Structure 1
Amino acid sequence: MEYRKLAPRQAEALTHRARGLSNAETAAAMHCSIANVANLLTECFFKLHARNSTDAVAKAIKHGLIQFTLVASIISGVGTDTQEQLRTRFQRKPTIKTIRIRNQGWNTA
């Protein structure tokens, strides 16, 4: 599937979203209204065939429509203990719990 290119302001709004900023914080950073940010992100979702912000950011990064180097710069600036905690935090496998039911004297014959 081919995605349409993002306009510069759309890419900027989506990059702010990738950094974890809210619509209000993005509006302040971009010197525009919150409604304008919402419209820019809605257009991004449409162009990327995305269901939500996370999906849009992932698709935009994967296809080179936005550059997102914040994570790499954060991880390179922290110690090895923190790097290991971040690595294991995002790679954890789901926990499966086993529930044992004690026989309450039921007759299984």
Structure 2
Amino acid sequence: MHTATEFRPLAPRQAEALTHRARGLSNRETAQAMRCSVTNVSNLLAECFYKLHARNSTDAVAKAVKHGLIQFILIACIINGIGADQEQIRNRLNRRPTVRTIRIRNRENLA
């Protein structure tokens, strides 16, 4: 079992690709959203899997959300959108995903 401190930080584009995957987008749809090639998206996601010690997309998204490496926009909509109408939730889902930068707490182990 890996702890949060064993995960390597995700680069902003890696976190963005993983956030698109969390929203259910395919590699082709993610490539269009990120304005890059499908191969680039595949490479970004492969790096995410490696850094998060994940077996697949579902595992990577779950670990990234759990450790605060990405914000899963649907969770935010559910928490913040209680009582909101469907149009408001649809508008939130269509926004560009939020990409967070992680903080490194123990800088001594970074070499």
- Shorter-chain TM-score: which interval? 0.5 to 0.7
Structure 1's unaligned 5+ residue stretches are 80-109
- Following superposition of structure 1 onto structure 2, how do residues 1-109 of structure 1 map, counting pairs within 5 Å? 1=3, 2-73=6-77, 76=82, 77=84
* TM-score normalised by L of structure 2: 0.66
Q: Distance in 1 between matches of 2:26 and 2:75?
A: 17
Amino acid in structure 1 at the alignment position of 2:52: L
Cα deviation for residue 70 of structure 1 reads 1.9
Q: CA deviation at 1:73?
A: 1.4
CA–CA distance in structure 2, aligned partners of residues 20 and 69 of structure 1: 11
Measure, in 2, the Cα distance between the counterparts of 1:6 and 1:14. Answer: 10
- AA matched with 1:27: A
SS at match of 2:69: coil
The residue number in structure 2 matching 1:91 is: none
Work out the CA distance in 1 between the residues paired with 2:85 and 2:19. Answer: 22
Root-mean-square deviation (Å): 1.6
**Highest RCO, 1 vs 2 (Cα 8 Å, sep ≥ 6):** 2
Return the index of the structure with the highest Cα Rg: 1
Equivalent position amino acid for 1:16 in 2? H
Q: Structure 2: 5+ residue runs without aligned partners?
A: 87-111
